[in-house]
Amino acid sequence: MKTLKLTALVMGVLWAATAAAQVAVVAEPWARATVQGQKATGAFMKITSKEGAKLVGVSSPAAGVTEIHEMKMEKDVMKMAPIKFLEIPAGKSVELKSGSYHVMLMDLKAPLADSSVVPVTLSFENAKGVKSQIDLQVPVKTMNMQQQHKH
Ligand SMILES: [Cu+2]
């Protein structure tokens, strides 16, 4: 952070441009490894946006279809369905996790093995409608990480 501040002082204009382009920050991404015969799985992460943004698209070369999904209770049944976008409120962190929002990788071209990496691209739109993308190399894990809550 110190380095960034110094850079900002030296190149104020350039830094402002870079900061504007960085619409969101993604932390702790991971995708669940598939078991034999499984053609779909979920990817999870925390997304934070300083100024607020919408996650408007997801894609991966590893999957035939990639969607943003939400899970919700409908008459006592957990259902998941694609959503057009996911709102990331300014200054808040939105968690994509098991049982909630997630990136759905479907029609997988190959199984996702534990300890491998799957590329996922997130497309964002800021409040002004400017689009930008974040390319992720998402670690594939077998275990369920959701128990590790840090508060
Ligand atoms: Cu799903």
18 domain-assigned: no
Q: Which two tokens stand for residue 61?
A: 């070369």
pLDDT single digits (tens) 41-90: 999 999 999 999 999 999 999 999 999 999 988 899 989 999 999 999 99
**Total structural domains in the chain?**
1
CA 147 and chain centroid, separation: 19
Q: Which residues fall inside 5 Å of ion ligand 1, going by CB?
A: 69, 80, 104
Q: What CATH number does the domain containing 33 carry? A: 2.60.40.1890
pTM of the entire predicted model: 0.80
**How far apart (Å, rounded) are the C-alpha atoms in residues 31 and 88?**
20
How far apart are the CA of 1 and the centre of ligand 1, in A? 36
93 domain-assigned: yes
With tokens 């992720």, the residue in question is: 136
pLDDT single digits (tens) 86-125: 999 999 999 999 899 999 999 999 999 999 999 999 999 9
How far apart are the CA of 59 and the centre of ligand 1, in A? 14
